[in-house]
Amino acid sequence: MNTTQFQTMISKQLPSCAKQVETEDGLVQVLDQMGVQGGDNISFQNFWTLINKQAVDLFQSSEKNKSYTCTCLLQ
């Protein structure tokens, strides 16, 4: 998918991330976190990297008991 399709999908499916991709700088930052080089299309693996990051961030922000740790592995 191209970046325009990605921005549309994010605004509809991931509202927590939508504000970040509204600006060009924010979009570039998210694409960089996903491992997408400038001008490349976004693969499912790139998108899954974003989902993983969102899940880890959510887990860390809601973590109440420090004895639990995330053992998720992106394969």
Residue-wise DSSP of 24-65: HHHHHHHHHHHTPPTTPPPPHHHHHHHHHHHHHHHHHHH---
Whole-number Å distance between alpha carbons of 40 and 38: 6
Q: What is the pTM of this model?
A: 0.68
pLDDT at 5: 92
pLDDT at 53: 87
- Looking at residue 65, what is its pLDDT? 56
User: pLDDT truncated to tens, each residue of the chain (75 aa)?
Assistant: 998 899 899 888 888 788 888 888 988 898 998 999 877 899 999 999 988 988 888 788 776 656 666 677 776
